Structure 1
């Protein structure tokens, strides 16, 4: 982690790009896009206080990044801290992948030293990829959640996480019990929820690894405090969906397992949502919950193709997520480029605007955090990243011949990655520099 001294008044010059609203699915010219080339982003006391074309006076510490792109920090709405150890593991679909790779890796996080080192490595890696906020799974171990929260607080990051709940269908070393899990969750909520930029998520691994009693306990936690988040997985893989049907024959669908226990609400984040039907989509929209679209993971594990157009038509929020380690990179550009490919396979063409919105303002709105992050509005915290428009001769040549803004941004989204990142700022403080 790299951190520099923080001036009280900081001005960053570059090509500023953010969103004032929700762009249309495929529109290339959108009134929701706010592009301010060669402009200054003004940051005072860690918050954005304005933008302007003219150079500010000498009371500001100025950094001139002319010819570079400046974006709000990315928001990754579904990612697994301990799974950096198993990223790029070969040859399995979801259920075998969990048993073969993920669960053995997660068992190591019972060790406080492993958990602390893993949390630091993970958060520094996010910052080095241009992600400044995240919704994160640690492991079932209380110490893994503690380590993650403490590391995020040290870095000043917006982090949503919670101890994973699993009391069956997992190795004994990864299983808790309902009473202890409830005690651990309540203690973590008391200590971390609402502290600095931290928030607690009731974290159900997925329906098969929780008994009905544990799901009921998770729902009770959510009902007791409406400010809590909830995160889980849903309808990722066809074999998984069939397993849920066998385990919960009384439920109408996989999603209904969660709905019955009160786990669907405006602060619920459900990863994947590939194998949903129209009724599921209606229920999601009515609940205010969002789906975290994880295209890289879905392609890598062969899980299926998420129907984003149907989600938009139903009216529920969709955000973008890396899902590392099923996903193959923490880079949100790579994730969004894979998202374009997933939609293209379904005959739909995802615009750069809709894609980037889902990783910035759209994600913030889905989390109820639009007053804090996701755009350059006055008063938001200055979670900001500076990018090279192009790296390497191929991308540079492509950028030079791009004709209009959407073409330039789409090429950047498709061809760039963490190598383009110049610097990451969290609440106005530099936390990564190339």
Structure 2
């Protein structure tokens, strides 16, 4: 039996990339809006005055001093690193040795993996994130645990077991053959089940032999709709290391290209130091880059050239990169993204920021037919943001003269406290 709910609030969602359509045509806004949900899907969106009479049978949920928008989309995050967020900073390679690898060792325990998966998903929902592209650990148990918890909540999630057969502690290394067979087993168990998707996940080129990368590329093309998720060009020292390990290849991206790991649904985290030619190739192949500003600043990696990526047609989403990233909040990611742009003498308009955190992320993941905004027919994944979340936000909102100022204030001052409620497939999964 169908069940309808109608959510009344100010409503804002992204309907296009401001770079392509201009700011004014990039969003739809209803000062007094109604979002109608039926059986986990969006049935209608519009002015409350117009729609209330049409949906008198719906259960009405009314919010005051709030803004409803699409659920946030995180295009790069590590769930095994929850317990090391906020650990004292290092450069990338030192960070892996000092914090990451010891933390990931614990995921050989299914009990630990299950506990952390629950904590991780709760944190995402508390911060308004309804979809994420997620790194597990090298242990297949980590992905079984993650998908088990995500399925219980009916979340649209993408994840994969890390593939890593060299330049890592022995206790975290698999082999080309075991990585392939374990990943294949997980794909057949989870990919396409409910709202779950699998990502082939070589950690990054230095921790995989050519043999493993070859099998990862083979696997990527064996099943329809798979993702490929890895890192690229985050740190200059890392780039030099890749050159020494793969002297026959002309660059970092060429390593992945040679092994069949670029294309639609390939997502490369960071990309801070990509050259023009690499950006061109990513754009040509429909690949995406995850912009991870809190992590890039925390580890001192550098400033992403967003304009160059977009000029070359690269799809760009927003990633928190927890635990090197410093917050689960995409509002805080946008706060840092604004500063990254300012340091390059550029601007990040609030409506462009909204696009990156929602529809842009969905396009990066080739899921914009299902999520990313509040168009009728899409999954009812949305977040209710609180204009009175803190005394400071409340006071700033009282001074804001238009929607642009309100949106900008939320992205600069907001965090998990600004999230009043998070809905996934029409069901409230977090309420403050």
1:3 paired residue number: none
Structure 2 counterpart SS, 1:291: strand
Aligned partners of 2:344, 2:195: CA distance in 1, in Å?
Answer: 38
Looking at structure 2, the residues matched to 87 and 274 of structure 1 have their Cα atoms a distance apart, in angstroms, of 21
1:361 counterpart (359, 362, 368): 359
TM-score with structure 2 setting the length: 0.97
Q: Indicate which of 5, 8, 21 corresponds to 1:10.
A: 5
Aligned 1:73-84 pairs, distance under 5 A: 73-84=71-82
Deviation at 1:225, TM superposition (A): 2.5
Higher alpha-carbon deviation: 356-365 or 135-144: 356-365
Matches within 5 A, 1:5-44: 8-24=3-19, 29-44=23-38
**Displacement of 1:58 after TM fit?**
3.7
CA distance 1:339–1:25, change in 2 (3 Å): farther
Map Cα deviations across residues 40-87 of structure 1 (whole Å, 9 max, x no partner): 100011110112322244411111013210011101010000101100
2:305 — aligned with what? 307
CA shift digits 1:100-154 (9 cap, x unpaired): 0000000000001001101111011101110010000010000001101111111
Contact 1:202 1:231 in 2 (8 A): yes
Partner of residue 42, structure 2: 48
What is the aligned partner in structure 1 of residue 143 from structure 2? 145
User: In the alignment, does 2:332 pair up with 1:338?
Assistant: no
Whether the 8 Å CA contact 1:25–1:354 is kept in 2: the answer is: no
Alignment partners' CA distance in 2, 1:338 and 1:419: 17
CA deviations over 1:215-259 (Å, ceiling 9, x no partner): 000001112224110000000001101100100111111111101
Which runs of structure 1 show a deviation greater than 6 angstroms over 4 or more consecutive aligned residues? Answer: none
1:107 maps to 105
- Preserved CA contact (<8 Å) 1:25 1:350: no
Gaps of 5+ in 1: 1-5
Once the 2 structures are TM-superposed, how far is the Cα of residue 390 of structure 1 from its aligned partner? Answer: 3.8
Q: CA RMSD of the aligned region, Å?
A: 1.4
Q: Give the alignment of 1:119-158 within 5 angstroms.
A: 119-158=117-156
Distance 1:215 1:304 in 2: 27
Alignment size in residue pairs: 428
Given that 2:45 and 2:375 are in contact with CA atoms closer than 8 Å, whether structure 1 keeps it comes out as: no
Mapping for residues 256-295 of structure 1, pairs under 5 Å = 256-295=254-293
- Give the structure 2 partner of residue 91 of structure 1: 89
Conserved 8 A contact 1:128-1:424: yes
1:297 and 2:292 aligned: no
Matching residue of 2:405: 407
- Cα deviation, 1:17-43, whole Å, max 9, x if unaligned, reads 11111113896x421111111111000
Deviates more, 1:406-415 or 1:234-243: 406-415
Secondary structure class of the residue paired with 1:24: helix
2:376 matched to 1:382? no
Residue 420 of structure 1: CA displacement?
1.1
Contact 2:390 2:417 in 1 (8 A): no
CA–CA separation in structure 1 for the residues paired with 2:5 and 2:30: 18
Give the drift of 1:362.
1.1
Distance 1:368 1:151 in 2: 23
Offset at residue 173 of structure 1 (A)? 1.0
8 A contact 2:295–2:326 mirrored in 1: yes
Cα deviations across residues 149-198 of structure 1 (Å, max 9, x unaligned)? 11111110011111100000111111001111111111111110111001
Q: 1:314, 1:378 → 2: CA distance? A: 31
Q: 1:418 aligns with which of 410, 416, 424?
A: 416
Equivalent residue for 1:66?
64
Cα distance in 2 for partners of 1:36, 1:251 equals 52
Cα deviation, residue 402, structure 1: 1.5
Gaps of 5+ in 2: none
